[in-house]
Structure 1
């Protein structure tokens, strides 16, 4: 996946030009830097996904309703959405490494503050702050890596997706184990927040600007992109944004309340629910394969098939009331298509829908559209559950909603992507 680094200073302030141009990047430092980026995104995922399996205990301690719990499980994505467009603006003008390091510190401190909450209002604030940092980090990572690995963008995003999925896999297991060991749900938040601060410190010294400040324009200098729209907000990006909105609401509504569904409706233990969540994260590790396919085949068609798979698996999860073993299989498949195929290909397709110099704005647009409405997906799902029960709520939000994403994808024209064969 690595290649000779052509260092660009266009994304860095003038004061940094000489420093960046003097820093040729070896394969070893490329690998070390990329590994730290993946690890930082893994901790990002752990911070996000440790909350849902602990939600029943958090609700019991604070007396939150199901709707309040559902909102708390997903409202961190509001912070991500608020960070998306501003981060995209900053990434096209300032050093991506700076944005990356600051973002890790923000979400780590927000995570560590969550157990300090005295009620619903300040816990909401801490979750949103954490999400704001996570949104900044997502935009920074995918802009930097998308530029550096421009020709293998889908595969690179898939590897990052594996890091995310590992975080989803281990967070419920570690979180529940620590809660049972220490008799409180607070411990995992302190542990994961501290891990983020340590990775930020290591990244300060080991993630080189030759990796983060690479120019997508220079990588693509041998091609002309006059056939593409001049604006970053064009037919393709708008259609992909609509698809991202729909996908975010469906997938995050599912993620936020899936453990609660297993415990309250199917009467699983906390350990069994954590196992199913972990299998969901394990399924997301197929992101390498999903990204690889996205580099070689029509991404619109791949995304359409993936959304149809999510709808089908949702029927199996909410309508069949399967046992633990079969439910874990369904969770794995939901992770494979929802996290392993939909997420990396939606992200990389958004960057391919704009000219190379606009990938920062494309990355910010994806973060905002995917995570913004998702902030209220848990609240929506909880309201549907209260009104119609789990089966019909799952049918409405996780089965039918992705079909709207399929309709939006019908307007995408991959012939106008920046990697299209001319």
Structure 2
């Protein structure tokens, strides 16, 4: 990448969207595709593993929650590391961890080592996922940031749909199908690592770290000059990222709001998607038919994400989340009351679209709440804590369904979505298409 080309990426407020921006968005989006494919593929492995390894409901719950447990560790660590050492380095390391662990998981014959490797996969995907959006947001023109951040996160939907296709055509095709699918989700990441090798570091992070506009391949030639200093931070903002987030106004309140919404949303999100094929099988459907219907339901994520991404730039991120969560809560109610399988599938598709529309709004909203020095840390801390909700949802949905059927599962999900909706309506503030926040 030439110095002139890199300049089109390092002045996001002064330059229009360029071909290089689109390339960067595509490569970042592919990261979310593989993250989504890895996390959701487990839902299709789980019915097979339960039968092959004779798993109890609680053992299945541990496996179902394994990615979220790793995600908690990875996202908490990566946010702070990305603010300290840079966004690009953490993304590359995280992808490598995921690739190795995913391929090794295909070789396992017992649930315990498999669980450990799935946790490591989650560490890799969690570390990458929380850094991508701060990284992208720091390159984008403000007027396009909301829509494009939502669109990048929308690649999750392609990953979920690809995982459903793997479940339908690979996992159900043979007893070793889940092993083949595990390798398929891991090996293409090597190609993505190769494509990412020339990506520049975030210009805002470089400026904050005292490196000016150094980016891409010219970074080695533009070392921090003697006596150079990072932009001044007001005296009341002299703590580290964690201290700032927990003690400083307004960041503390924004963090609490973000954590609350994210936790409620991901409780329902992972409880639903981690167990969807298994929940369909409780209605007497065969494995292949449940996978086929799951593919249809997962596909509803695509319009959910991209309609929300477009609306991010039209009505605002908070309004998108309110609308999407309302639609998802109504769909969860429909799942409880649906008298026939077609109505149940239609409600499940609505829940799928609504949940993912809310995620598209949330990922565009989060970077606009915090300044550069703590942006990735805030994203990582919020995402990490929210995994407690994801773990509870993915571990609890199976045993809850075994106890009382699907009605208590979707009632609980609907209640969590309603709580997130109330927080957004009465507590959360708006963000917009202006410059990203710095010190206030």
TM beyond 0.5: yes
Runs of 4+ deviating beyond 4 Å? 210-219, 229-232, 415-421
Q: CA deviation at 1:366?
A: 3.0
- Compared CA separation, residues 72 and 232, structure 1 to 2 (3 A): farther
Alignment: residue pair count: 396
1:69 aligns with 2:60: yes
Choose which of 182, 189, 193 in structure 2 pairs with 1:196. 189
Give deviations 1:357-412, integer Å, cap 9, x for gaps: 432122212321332331232221223223322222321x2122211212322453
Structure 1 residues 25-40: aligned runs within 5 Å: 27-40=18-31
Match of 2:91 in 1: 100
CA distance in 2, matches of 1:330, 1:167: 21
Q: Residue 76 of structure 2 aligns with which residue?
A: 85
Q: 2:420 pairs with 405, 411, 415, which one?
A: 405
Judge conservation of contact 2:26–2:152 (CA < 8 Å) in 1: no
Looking at structure 1, the residues matched to 114 and 100 of structure 2 have their Cα atoms a distance apart, in angstroms, of 13
- Corresponding residue SS for 1:79: helix
What's 1:373 paired with? Answer: 389
User: Which shows bigger deviation, 207-216 or 376-385?
Assistant: 207-216
Match of 2:160 in 1: 168
* CA displacement at 1:256 relative to structure 2: 1.0
Return the offset for 1:296.
3.3
1:319 to 2:319 alignment: no
- Looking at structure 2, the residues matched to 194 and 269 of structure 1 have their Cα atoms a distance apart, in angstroms, of 30
Matches for 1:4-403 after TM superposition, within 5 Å: 4-6=8-10, 27-149=18-140, 151=142, 152-184=144-176, 185-205=178-198, 207-209=199-201, 231=249, 233-263=251-281, 265-286=282-303, 287-324=305-342, 326-339=343-356, 341-395=357-411, 397-403=412-418
SS in 1 for 2:349: helix
* Structure 2 CA distance for aligned equivalents of residues 332 and 208 of structure 1: 38
Match of 1:11 in 2: none
TM-superposed CA distance for 1:249, in Å, is 0.7
Q: Is there any run of 5+ residues in structure 2 with no aligned partner, and where?
A: 1-5, 214-230, 237-246
Q: CA deviation at 1:268?
A: 2.1
Classify the secondary structure of the residue corresponding to 2:85: coil
Q: TM-score, normalised by structure 2?
A: 0.80
Task: Give the direction of change, closer, same or farther, for the CA distance of 1:61–1:401 in structure 2 (3 Å limit).
Answer: same
Distance 1:47 1:143, change over 3 A: same
**Does the 8 Å CA contact 1:56/1:260 hold for their aligned counterparts?**
yes
| C-alpha distance 137-415 of structure 1, shift in aligned 2 (>3 A) | closer
Root mean square deviation, CA, Å: 3.4
Q: Distance in 1 between matches of 2:88 and 2:373?
A: 17
Tell me, in whole angstroms, the C-alpha distance in 1 between the residues paired with 2:296 and 2:384: 27
Q: Which residue of 1 aligns with 2:241?
A: none
Q: How far is 1:230 from its partner?
A: 5.1
Asked if the contact 1:158–1:289 (Cα under 8 Å) also holds between the matched residues in 2, the reply is no
1:13: which partner in 2?
Answer: none
What is the alpha-carbon distance in structure 2 between the residues aligned to residue 148 and residue 232 of structure 1? 24
CA contact (8 A) 2:154 2:360 kept: no
Change (3 A) 1:317 1:215: farther
**Superposition deviation, residue 55 in structure 1:** 1.3
Once the two structures are overlaid, the 10-residue window that deviates more, 232-241 or 135-144, is 232-241
Match of 2:225 in 1: none
Deviations 1:51-99 (A, max 9, x none): 1123111100111112322331232111111122321111112221111
Could you tell me how far apart the structure 2 residues matched to 1:295 and 1:414 are?
16
Change (3 A) 1:35 1:211: farther
Partners of 1:101 and 1:321 in 2: CA distance: 48
